[in-house]
Structures are given as C-alpha cells and as structure tokens.
Structure 1
C-alpha cells in the first residue's frame, strides 16, 4: 500500500481529506498529518510517504517552500498541490519542483481520488521499470463520473481478489453491468477487464523485481489461481514471460 501524508493548516479541511476518502480502496493509508510546511517537511523526512497532499498558503512555511526543501533533501514523493483560484499562478511554481498535479479548492467529489489513482498507476509502472516495462495506465482525459471513479478505486483495492469481475465491480458501484461497461469504456478508453488485467500486471512487475519471490506467489498476490493463465496474460501484456522478466531484473 502507498503511504500518504496530508499537510493542511485548516483543521476541518485536513480532517475532511483524511476521513472522507476511502484510502483502503485506493490501496493507500494515511501515515501522518501536518498543520504547516515545517511540520510537513519533518513528517515527510520521517515517514517517507509515497504521496504528499499539501496546501499552498500555510503559516511558518508554505507548500512551495516545503516542496523545494524536500527536493533538495532528496525526497522523491509524488506531491499533489491544493490551491485556491487566487493562488493558481503561484501554485504553478510547484511544477518546477516536480509536483505531480494540483487541485483547485474546493475540489469536487472524486477529483482527489482520480489523481491518486493516476499516481498509483504511475508508481506501479515506475517501480516495475526494468528491461521491458509497461507505461503507466493512461486514462482518457476529462471528467470521470462517480461510478467510474468508484470502479477505479474498487479495482485498486480488490485487484488481488480472484473473484473480482464486472459483476462485483458493478454491484459495488450500484449500477447495471451493461451501463457500467459502457461508461467505463467511454470515459477511460479501457474495458473493465482490460483495465483490471493491466493494473494486475503493473503490480506483478513490481513484485517480480524481488528475485526471491516465486512466480506462483506473484500470481496469487495479483488475483490469479492458475499460474499458467497468469503467465500467459503476463506475456501477452508485457511481452515476456514472468521468469524472463524476473531474470532481467537481476
């Protein structure tokens, strides 16, 4: 699971982010909170989060300065900037220090989750980057409906369930299978099962970088009961067999 640090000086906003997001479904957990840039800097060095969600305007140290100092300290966390419209131009300075994305406050339901899903996919690809590797899952640009966002989050949290499928994903979203398949393809350019398979392979590639892990163990951890079928899908999507991929990671 990915570690998330939330840095926000307004307590109700900070607690809202921590409590309103289904972090488990996104394959994440909140490792810490901070009320200003100084606390955020210290917490980031202490917890080494994968993702930092931070406001811009804060006392003691603002989000841009915090990000600048973290980069100077070698921190490679993905950073999501939260900014009011009046600070938008200032917030764009964060891109010079490698901010992953920024959201205008108040952001709408599902926007933060969408950014996190995108970052999660990118990190899975980056950590599995050796020899042949998959690009990060690139979703079609544009707003996503709440049903699609719920489905992306559900897959991130349940990809390792061998029984996950269109039926269970649609049931979680509370809509029919046919309608979900239609809007998911329209909004992401993937079918549900294509996205699930791609997501599983991104995770499998990360796991296979550990030469001690057995291929059947990786298959089980990403939701496949049949190692032969897993190997077939891996070769189809990645271009090499799991054992070949693992050998090239040594």
Structure 2
C-alpha cells in the first residue's frame, strides 16, 4: 500500500478528502494529517509518505514552499496541490516542482480520485524505472567483478588483449596508465556479510585518495584488492599495504578472525597483473609454517635459481606410483607425510612445499588414470587437488587433507574390490615391488595367489596392456635409474641390485627402454 499525508489548515477540507476516497480499494493508506506547512514537513520526514495532498496556501510553509523543501531531501514524494484560486502563477509554480495534479476547490470526488490514480501510476512507473536501472547496474557490477576475478586468477590472454580504454568502456572501470598490483588478504573464516562489507568498504576508502581505480574481489576466504595507482617508490606501496592490513585487522579482531596478507609485485603493465596475483598467492602459503598475523611483501629474489630440492626424485616418483598401484595405502600415507616433513626441513618454505604437492597431484592423477580407476575413486584434476590443499592453514591440516584426498579413496576402492579378480594385477605388482632384486618367476607369483600362471598372466595383460615379464623388466629399469641418479655404485653393481644377473642383458634392456646406455643416463643426470 502507498501511504498518504493530508496537509490543509481548513478542517472541513481535510475531512472531505479523508471521507470521500475508498483508500483500501485504491491500495492506499491514510498515514497522517497536518494543519500547517511546518507540521506537514515534520510528518513527511517522520512518516515518509508516498503521496502528499496539500493546500497551496497554509500557515508556516505554503504548499509550494513545502514542495521545494522536500525536493531538497532524498525522499521520493508525489504532490497533489489543492487551491481555491484558479491562478496560472500557482499552477505554474506547482508544475515547477513536478506536482502530479493541481486540483481546484471546492473538491470534486472524481477529480481527486483521478489525481490519486495518476500519482499511483507515476510512483509505479518510477519504481519500475528504478528497479530496471538497479538491475542493469547490478548486472554491470556482476560482469565487471567476474571479468576482474577471471583476469587475475587465470591470466587469460583474451582478457589482457583489451586496451584499458576498451575495459573502461565495456565494464565501466576507470583504469589509467600507471602501476598495477594485487594485495590478497586470507581470512581464518569468511566473516558475516555485514562485517565483510565493512572490511571491503574500509579498504576501498583507504585507496580512494591514492588510486586511479581499485576493486575488492571476494574469492572464498580471500579478499583480493586489485589496485591501479600513479606513484612509484616501493616505500609507498609497502606503507599502503601496512595501512590496509592494519585497517582490516582492526575490524576482524573483535570478531575473533585472524588474517594473513600478501602484496604482489608492482608493474606498469596491465597484462602483468596476473603475475602480481600469482606471487601474492604463493606468498600466502607461508602461513602454514609462520602462522597467522603476517603481512608478506614481495621482494626480488637474490638468486634466479630454482630450489633443487623441490622436485620429486625419480625414486620418490616410482615409490609413490608403486604404492598406488599396489594399494599399499598405509605406506602411501607415510610417504606423503615424510615428503612434507623433509621438504619443510630442507627448505623451510611452504611455497616450496606446494611446488612439490603440485607434482604429487599430477603423478596421482596420471597413475589413477593408468589404473583405470578414476571414476571409482572420484578423481579430481591436479589443479582441483591443489586448490583443496590451498585451503589448509596448518601443516597438520595439510597432512589430513592429503590423507582424505589421496589415501582414503584408494583404500575404500581396494576394500570394496578386495576379492575381485581385478585386484590380482595389484597384488602381482606388489609382489614385484618387494622381490624385484630376486629371480621372479610367474609360477612363484601364481603360487602366492593360489592361481594358475596362465590365468594370472592373462589377467595382468588384460588390466595393464603389457605382459608380466615386460612389467618386471620396466620396473627393474626404473629402479636402476634411481640407483644411477642417487648412488655412486658401478654399472655392474646397479645391474645386480635391481635383479639382473647378466650385465649385458641389463645394458641391452636399459637402452631399449630408456633410449641410451646406463653410463650415458648417469652422465646426463649429473653423476
């Protein structure tokens, strides 16, 4: 219902208006009455009516003065002017302030009813216009935020192909040639909507005076600030990041929410914005070791060399693959924990740990695909595995996450299919991993499984696409590669260690599968 206020210093006029209209039938509600302009203005502010029926001449404020004063506020009020004077000047003044109707006294019920109907139609029309404009603005905002988030997260070349002018026109931005960078704040948990809005508004207010343009993008528990500025000294960016972090922290602390933030590198190129995001994102990983409450500021590395220890060794890759293929989940979990601990002990950087985890995720996906069990274990992509682990805030959470992502699905699959013939291949692989240094015969494996050699040979070939003897040879050669890389044993010693009794047979098999001799492989590996 639309609310009505009647303002007239003549009691009989007010009574006539009050009693001549079927308010409910017209979807109207009589909210109040006033005897003079001053009282009418006070009630307009308090009651916030949609329509005011006012006399043009009243004590205090006239109807025209009342309209003029209300128009200075943000209130949306439609006015119907009543007058006992058929004056063009009065009508012209009423139209100046966009009155709906100018109704002469004595009042006629039908004329007043039509004036009210016109006011209702105007309100409805304006509401539709405002709603349409609001929806259009909301959609524009949504499109802009989607574009900006996609730009920083994916580094999509198509997004960076647009000029700044093109971006400004298409997404209603205000970017200018200058410097671009990203600051990411990672929150212990997502704040309530009101608090999140306060954090966002406070951050953007701080940026308003020093930035050409800035945006706050929410991505899960992360608040991403995309900033375009003019200043260049690095001290200015550091000072700004500290001020933003201090402001965000002051809002989050009363709610018991801890923060960690990172400032990415600053560049004068829009296409390098994604790089600033990636670096800041990687810096945030250090919270696993350092805990909450730190602000990381990117600085140029002293050395351009990668950490040689953040790569999975050939031995580790083979070990993890074998443990997956043989469903030895307890040992797989222990290995994953050992890799995590060793990586942190050697490097001390959580960012290096994530580089290792990315390799593990890719290896896990590849091995599961080779085993043809992806759909049964709910296999994700390597990127999705990494994103799940990015949500961890401590090393213990990380280990639990790896157990849930990598270990438990394999364990559940094996327990469900423990007696199926499809697991014969896994048991045969397990036998090889434990006895590869010995003389392995298919009949010995068959005896272990209480099956015939021909039957298990057929099952293995069906499941893996390769014969058992070929698999044994390939496994031994892969083990030989780890010996050649990680030890200083002689070639003959390596051949014996991996189960080849004949040096010539070993060299021939190695060259066939690897494409080079054992000595050439060792030389290539830096030994």
TM-score, length-scaled by structure 1 = 0.50
Structure with greater helix share of residues? 2
Give the number of the structure with larger relative contact order, counting CA–CA contacts within 8 Å between residues 6 or more apart.
1
Please identify the structure whose Cα radius of gyration is greater: 2
TM-score, length-scaled by structure 2 = 0.24
